[in-house]
Amino acid sequence: MAKIKQLSPYEAQKIAAGEVVERPANIVKELIENSIDAGATRISIYIEDAGKKLIRIVDNGCGMDITDAQICFDRHATSKITHVDELESINSFGFRGEALASIAAISQITLITKEEHSLEGTHVTLNPGYDAQLKSVACNTGTDLSVSNLFFNVPARKKFLKTVQTEWRAIQLLFNAFCFDYPHIHFSLFTENKQVNNCPATDNLKNRALQILEPTSFQHLIKTTSPENSNITINAIISDHQHYRYDRSGIYFFVNKRWVKNQHLGSAFIKGYANVIPSGRYPIGAISITVPANEVDINIHPRKEEVKFLHPKKVEQVLQEMVTQTLERNLSTHINKEVTLTRPASQFEPSVSPKNEHFVPFNFDAFFAQQPLKNNFPTATSSPSPSAPTPVPTNAPQPAVLNDDPLPFNNTQTDKQQSLHAQTQSTVTKNSTHVISEKQPYHLIGQYNKTYLLIEKEDGLFLIDQHAAHERILYELFANRFADVATIQLMFPQTITLSEHDITTITPHLEILIAHGINIEQCGYNQLMVQSLPVHLKDQSITEIIKEMVGWITENTLLDTAEFKKTINHKLQAQMACKAAVKAGDTLTQETMQELLSTLEKTANRFSCPHGRPTGWLLSLNEIEKKFKRQI
Ligand code: ADP
Ligand code: MG
């Protein structure tokens, strides 16, 4: 029996629509591109429920007459080409005659449009499967197109739409990209009838950046151009060495005036900032690349979001060099202006890089080269290679040695040492005669370089990194014993102002912060307010933690819910611990040092900080004696 049936055009079109429309942002893109093609100088975008309920684009372009207003929703209806050979050469956007037909197949449409010299405009309503309803209206020149109830007739697709926050964010990124790409167009963005961006036309890209990026970025933006000796031209606005984000969402690429995504371009751009901004931080930039049309393929992606270059390495090289040179030039200007430049702390870099090793008269790090563990701490003995030490794999599971005494975090002392004192009070054994383990007595010699505790033991000299050790103590407390952590009501609530994008990203996850004692809520459309904090963070600004969290969320959206929660919790706990811990450079009293050691002794995973750095090293007596030739 014959099994093949011809699908009705209505069903077939719903399926075809999937090629063009996967999410609301795709529709926004197609419609904005149509408005640009229509010569609009003003484009307003109205969104409701992240586009699921409404996407409305109003432009002042050339508009359509009554005939075009009817047929523009037919398949293959386009005013932009008549032959397929023209595809290569046209500069207009989008699918050729596919977009409106696809959008109209999976939503309800209202179109109001008028050409400049017409006395009246046309009003069209369209419901998939039904004939269009037409009437004349009085309206402005241009086109006002509303797309309502996306996927109302394709529930299977509707189910795959992401959360309102994710879809809205995709629209915002797209909006920003168009703003960068077309500074001469006045763009505005509204959500739930509230204007969130207003970007009047400008001929200055830096002004454009100011309109859409967080205001603090502006002073850190540099306008730059690639050298003029190749057929690749790059014009860009990029951030300087002092500004960065915690995710890649501030990086936009345009190739021959199209917003594109290309991982390799992203990596080349970020590489240009190597050693200039800390690792795990990302610059911002709007980078417009122009290459000859025959050296780039924009058709590899159905929605034309990705590009393939004929010579990708060359493009990446020009980009990376442009960034490096721009930053160097910018840095030397800063230095000439006697701006003191401190190299950003790349927290976990070896302090001696292999490059300048021979300029270091005495390689202290090499002196402490890694050796097998002894007493569970890395020991320092002679190493065949003088390279900087690799931290030992101290993340290996360690026996949990938490005792049952509650750590008294319910004090409200501000000073970290007092606080540390309080944290450890109840865990210091009465008979705390400097014992790090039952068998091995120790003597605390003191603090070296306001960073390391020096401890004399029978079998050698211990160095404990005060920050790493305290970080581990606090991390274990935050991760496992949070009920023991006291919070404190702030006398003056902290307000944190974020960009629209950051607010949208973090708001759905505020309960993670709340679960960690950070009582936070949204107040105003781009502000958060913190009312209370864990007592250890009392004197800390938590803006940095919040901004970092935006980055973690953005970078981990692909994880499943359980993994996502685990990752964000870990990062938050580690970051809170890092903020609240004593720092390198803090002078510690003898008493505080003793307490730090006693608490560390009882802490699980105590041989590394939550970021994987070792908390301590042992320089064995054996080794010391060998160095002094007392032993062979
Ligand atoms: P394409 O853009 O590839 O031609 P579309 O389906 O996106 O295909 O649009 C069909 C046609 O409708 C366009 O070619 C254009 O003539 C007309 N059109 C669509 N949007 C607008 C607009 N905002 N202003 C004027 N004309 C428009
Ligand atoms: Mg189009």
Q: Which long-range contacts (CB under 8 A, 24 or more apart) does 125-133 make?
A: 126/73, 128/10, 128/13, 128/14, 128/104, 128/153, 129/10, 129/153, 132/70, 132/73
pLDDT, tens digit (0-9, with 9 covering 90-100), for 573-623: 999 999 889 999 999 998 899 989 888 888 888 888 888 788 888 888 888
Predicted confidence (pLDDT) per residue in 422-478, tens digit: 443 333 333 333 334 444 567 899 999 999 999 998 778 889 999 999 999 999 888
Q: Using the mean position of ligand 1's atoms as its centre, give its distance from the Cα of residue 72 in Å.
A: 6
Structure letter (DSSP) for residue 278: -
Q: Is the minimum distance from the CB of 64 to ligand 1 under 6 angstroms?
A: yes
- Binding site membership of 79 for ligand 1 (Cβ less than 6 Å): yes
pLDDT at 214: 67
Residue nearest to atom 27 of ligand 1 (CA): 34
Any atom of ligand 1 within 6 Å of the Cβ of 519: no
* CA 146 – CA 142 distance, rounded (Å): 13
Nearest Cα to Cα of residue 130 among 31, 9, 5, 19: 9
Q: Residue 78 C-alpha to ligand 1 middle, in angstroms?
A: 6
Q: Is residue 186 pLDDT above 50, yes or no?
A: yes
Judged by average pLDDT, the poorest of 11-20, 45-54, 320-329, 481-490 is 11-20
Mutate to test the pocket of ligand 1, among 78, 86, 107, 122 (most ligand atoms within 8 A of CB): 78
Please name the residue that has the structure tokens 């454009």: 208
Q: Residue 354: inside a domain, yes or no?
A: no
Residue 16 lies in a domain: yes
Q: Is residue 165 part of a domain?
A: yes
Q: Amino acid letter at 446? A: G
Tell me, yes or no, whether 174 and 267 share the same domain: no
Please indicate, yes or no, whether residues 56 and 114 belong to a single structural domain of this protein.
yes
Q: State the pLDDT confidence band at 303, using cuts at 50, 70 and 90.
A: low
Residue 508 lies in a domain: yes
Output the pLDDT for position 465.
94
219 and 179, same domain (yes or no): no
Is there a domain that residue 2 lies in?
no
Residue span of the structural domain in which 321 resides = 213-332
Question: Would you state the pLDDT for residue 244?
Answer: 84
Residue 76 belongs to domain with CATH number: 3.30.565.10
Give, using CA atoms, the residue closest to atom 8 of ligand 1: 97
Contacts of 66 (CB under 8 A, 6+ apart): 122, 134, 136
557 belongs to a structural domain: yes
pLDDT digits (tens, 9 = 90+) for 196-215: 999 999 988 888 888 887 66
Amino acid at 482: F
Residue 17 has what pLDDT? Answer: 67
Please, what is the angle between helix 543-555 and helix 561-580, to 10°? 150
Q: How far is the CA of 432 from the centre of ligand 2 (A)?
A: 77
pLDDT at 426: 31
Q: For the segment 343-381, what is each residue's pLDDT rounded down to a tens digit?
A: 333 322 222 223 332 222 222 222 222 232 334 444 444
Q: In 310-358, which ranges are continuous DSSP H helix?
A: 312-336
Ligand 2 is an ion; its neighbours by CB within 5 Å are 34, 94, 99
Paired sense of beta strands 616-620 and 377-380, if any: parallel
Domain endpoint, select from 314, 332, 350? 332
Percent of the chain's residues with pLDDT above 90: 37
Residues 148 and 48 in one domain: yes
Question: Confidence band (pLDDT; 50, 70, 90) for 314?
Answer: very high
Task: State whether 42 and 132 are in the same domain.
Answer: yes
Express each pLDDT in 29-83 by its tens digit. 999 999 999 999 999 999 999 999 999 999 999 999 999 999 999 876 676 656 5
Name the domain count of the chain: 4
Ligand 1 centroid distance, CA of 144 (Å):
12
- The answer to whether the predicted template modeling score (pTM) of the entire model surpasses 0.85 is no
Q: Tell me, yes or no, whether 25 and 49 share the same domain.
A: yes
Q: Is 97 in the pocket of ligand 1 (CB under 6 A)?
A: yes
176, 183 contact by CB (below 8 A)? no
191 lines ligand 1 (CB under 6 A): no
| pLDDT tens track for 146-164 | 999 999 988 888 887 888 8
How far apart are the C-alpha atoms of 478 and 468, rounded to whole Å? 15
Q: How far apart are CA 137 and CA 303, in angstroms?
A: 34
Domain identity same for 172 and 25: yes
What would the two tokens of residue 611 be?
Answer: 């970021």
**417 and 287 belong to one structural domain:** no
Task: Name the nearest CA neighbour of 241 among 328, 157, 138, 354.
Answer: 328
Give the model's pLDDT for residue 510: 94
Q: What is the CATH number of the domain that holds 412?
A: 3.30.1540.20
Pick the last residue of a domain from 199, 226, 255: 199
Please check whether residues 605 and 572 belong to one and the same domain: no
Percent of the chain with pLDDT strictly greater than 70: 76
In degrees, rounded to 5, the angle at the alpha carbon of residue 557 between the alpha carbons of residues 169 and 270 is: 80
The torsion angle over the Cα atoms of residues 403, 405, 407 and 411, rounded to 10 degrees, is -170
**Average pLDDT of span 78-97:** 57
Residue 95: inside a domain, yes or no? Answer: yes
Please report the atom of ligand 1 found closest to the CA of residue 92: 2
Domain identity same for 569 and 596: no
pLDDT, tens digit (0-9, with 9 covering 90-100), for 102-128: 899 999 999 999 999 999 999 999 998
Q: Supply the CATH number for residue 539's domain.
A: 3.30.1370.100
Asked whether residue 189 falls in the same domain as residue 233, the answer is: no
Q: Between residues 552 and 372, which one has the greater pLDDT?
A: 552
The Cα 308–Cα 93 span in angstroms is: 17
Radius of gyration (C-alpha) of the chain in whole angstroms: 31
Highest mean pLDDT among 232-236, 392-396, 499-503: 232-236
The alpha carbon of 45 and the centre of ligand 2 are apart by a number of angstroms equal to 16
Task: Give the pLDDT of residue 334.
Answer: 56
Ligand 2 centroid–CA 30 distance in Å is: 6
Q: Is 623 helix (H, G, I), strand (E, B) or coil?
A: helix
| Domain stop point among 133, 168, 199 | 199
Residue 400 lies inside a defined structural domain of this protein: yes
Which of 19, 79, 83 for mutating ligand 1's site (highest number of atoms within 8 Å of CB)? Answer: 79
Mean pLDDT of the chain: 78
Based on the number of CB atoms within 10 Å of its own CB, is 466 exposed (0-12), middle (13-18) or buried (19 or more)? Answer: buried
Does one domain contain both 110 and 75? yes
80 pocket-lining for ligand 1 (C-beta < 6 Å): yes
- What CATH number is given to the structural domain containing 267? 3.30.230.10
Q: Which two tokens stand for residue 336?
A: 């000439």
State which H helix or E strand residue 255 sits in.
Answer: strand 251-255
- Burial profile 440-449: b = 16 or more Cβ within 10 angstroms, e = fewer: eebebeebee
Ligand 1 neighbourhood includes 38 CB (under 6 angstroms) = yes
pLDDT value, residue 391: 34
